[in-house]
Amino acid sequence: MLKISIKDLKHHYRFGENEAMRLKVLQPLAEANMSQFSETLLDYIRSISETEEIMRNHNASRLAKMHEHWFMSLFEGEYDEQYFNELKRVGQVHVKIGLNAHFVNSAMNQIRHFLLNLIDSSYRDREERRLTREAVEKILDINLDIMTSSYREEEMRKVFLSREVEGVLLKATERFTYGLNLILVLALVGVSITAVLLFVWDIAHILQGDMEKAILSALGSLLIIWMMIELLSNEIKNLKGGKFNILVFIGVIIVALIREILISTLRHDKLETQVFLAGTLLILGIVYYLVSKSKKDLPED
């Protein structure tokens, strides 16, 4: 991970003594609006369901004091190693409580708007307003950079070997999985051809007599062909990056069960067996309906 010194960080953001001085001048204005800032930030946090849950696990008044302390530190005018270490600690706390980095960024956006609106309403001179806004923008960007570095450090800790090695392993695994899918498609094609030949054989039996048995057998073969078509179609979509469709597999099981019922009728199985198959088919039909309904209720990507 790239290590940046305090001096380099300030240099990268073009943050110097002039910006520090302008922020120091803002201190009285910030102190006068500190309570309003704290209330605004807490209201924003409460307005988001994910951050509201975190709020319930922490004392609101204590959290408000922490926000006020951080807010006033923006305008102290001293941005040394101690200041940057404190920001790192804040970032580590965010990681520890499970706050997603997205919400840190969005909250900082709200803070930015609050401060810029405060400056716009307090500075009449256009040039002074512009320079003050720039100083505030820079210190907020620096704060965000340091705070989110804790997330990057946490991500690095999750690396088992190294990013390069893991990247190679992931690519190899993806190719292996793709190859298995190709083999599966070829196997399904082979089974589909066999099913077509079986259907032709059943049609030949119709011409030879034993009409009822041959027709039921042919229907069973057609159901197998339909199953193969659905499975092949689903696998091809999967190879093209499509989503896994559980409905296809439930449908295939239903079709296989219908074929088993047909065969059971031909064998003149016991009534208990046929009732069991019919009951299983009913349950699968209900499962298919519920899954299909739940998929329709989900929002489109």
CA distances from 272 to 103, 125, 268, 277 (A): 60, 92, 11, 9
Global confidence as pTM: 0.53
Structure-token pair, residue 33:
């609006």
Query: For 300, phi and psi rounded to 5 degrees?
Result: -70, 145
**CA 249, chain centre distance (Å):** 25
| Rounded Cα distance, 35 and 114, in Å | 12
pLDDT of amino acid 121: 92
pLDDT of amino acid 100: 82
8 A C-beta contact, residue 166 and residue 159: yes
Alpha helices in 209-242 (DSSP H): 211-239
3-state SS class at 158 = coil
Structure-token pair, residue 272:
């208990």
Nearest of 267, 275, 171, 173 to residue 216 by alpha carbon: 267
pLDDT of amino acid 278: 87
Query: For 297, phi and psi rounded to 5 degrees?
Result: -75, -20
8 A C-beta contact, residue 258 and residue 279: no
CA distances from 160 to 154, 164, 166, 179, 288 (A): 13, 11, 8, 26, 41
Question: Helix 81-96 vs helix 60-73: angle between axes, to the nearest 10 degrees?
Answer: 150
Structure-token pair, residue 274:
């046929």
pLDDT of amino acid 1: 43
CA distances from 280 to 20, 143, 268, 271 (A): 75, 61, 18, 14
8 A C-beta contact, residue 155 and residue 138: no
Structure-token pair, residue 81:
């190693």
Nearest of 18, 280, 273, 6 to residue 127 by alpha carbon: 18
Task: Count other C-beta atoms under 10 Å from residue 41's C-beta.
Answer: 20
8 A C-beta contact, residue 239 and residue 178: yes
pLDDT of amino acid 221: 77
pLDDT of amino acid 301: 45
Nearest of 228, 146, 242 to residue 187 by alpha carbon: 228
Q: Residue 299 gets which letter from DSSP?
A: P
Listed by start position, the domains of the chain span 6-157, 163-297
CATH architecture for segment(s) 6-157? Orthogonal Bundle (1.10)
Gap between the terminal Cα atoms of the chain: 35
List average pLDDT for each run of 10 residues in the chain, which is 301 residues long. 75 93 94 93 84 70 89 91 88 81 89 94 92 94 88 59 67 84 86 84 72 72 81 79 73 81 76 86 88 68 45
Q: Rounding to the nearest 10 degrees, give the CA dihedral for residues 269, 271, 272, 273.
A: 30
